[in-house]
Chains A and B, each alone.
Chain A
Amino acid sequence: MRVLPVALLSLAVGAVGGYFTHAWTHETGNDPTARDERVRGDVVACTLSPEQIEHLSSRIAPAVVQRLGNSCGVAADPQLAAQHRADDESLTKRQAAAFAEAGRIVDQMIANRAVTPQGRDKAHELLRESGQADRIHEIDGRIAAAINRGDITAEDAGLAPPTQ
């Protein structure tokens, strides 16, 4: 008869001990770095504004967008994402057309063996207007390449240094 209270007491002590031990092993026994990384990842994701997430949505996989949106409590709009994608494609086409037109202008001047400042300016303007100012040297490079081929001279291109 005296065994039963002792057994119950042992069980109770074991349960209480197990409860606290579990909490201890799961809170302080785990790698704290991993926990910090997990928390930091959530913080990084949620520093994105809904507008940024919408902007990104046209560039990254829909599943990732969905996850980002869920993490930050923002619902990604598939229509808006599609619109962004269409805008990007349209810009790419406009830029390609502007670059081709600038190239055509320069090639025509080379064919005429008369590269004028006005013609070059027009070609440059096309690139600037389409957000491609950083590619102007590529268009001008066609003039240099024509000089290198011997198709025109530096004088034809208006690039020879003035003589005294």
Chain B
Amino acid sequence: MHKTITLALSLALGLACFTMPASAGLDSTRTSTGAGQCFPETDPSWNLNTMYCQGTMAGIRSQQSDSSRFAVFSIDTSGQLYFGMVVNKVGYSCFAPQSMLEVWKVAMASNAWFRIAYDKTTGVCKSLSVGTGSNNKTAL
């Protein structure tokens, strides 16, 4: 009797493991940075007002865990450079100085990953990196 129960449990557990899709719960084909995230600077030797946002447009678009999530790089007719992102219904944003115009254009035109740093108190962007990497499958 005891052996039968153990065998049944093993069989059920095995079935549960092998029938569950690999992507269930976790987006295993994409890195978490591709799906988009914002986080604060935690190193006290740096400016703790600094926030970082990163991801890829394709990764943010295709992630399904947060329907509010989006990211935008924009420029208007007066030349103002704006970055905005929403993650879990929380807004993150900054305006950039004109010195960042060239890299801003690259960020707007590409599907590369981006990583932006800004001062959350002043709302001024501090740096922006864009790039492509073979490890990031959403950077099409």
Contacts and interface: CB of A to CB of B under 8 A. Distances in A.
A136 B70 CA distance: 25
Interface string A146-160: 111010011000011
Interface SS of chain A: helix
Given A138-B122, A138-B124, A143-B123, A161 B72 contact: yes
Nearest to B121: A145
B92 A148 contact: yes
Nearest to B73: A161
A161 B70 contact: yes
Contacts of A134: 97-98
A127 B95 CA distance: 16
Interface residues of A, number: 21
A132 to B, nearest CB: 12
Given A147-B123, A161-B70, A140 B82 contact: yes
A147 B86 CA distance: 10
B80 A144 contact: no
A145 B120 contact: yes
A104 to B, nearest CB: 17
Interface of B: 51, 70, 72, 74, 78, 80-82, 84, 86, 90-98, 118-125
6 shortest A-B CB distances, which residue pairs? A144-B123, A141-B123, A145-B123, A140-B95, A144-B93, A141-B124
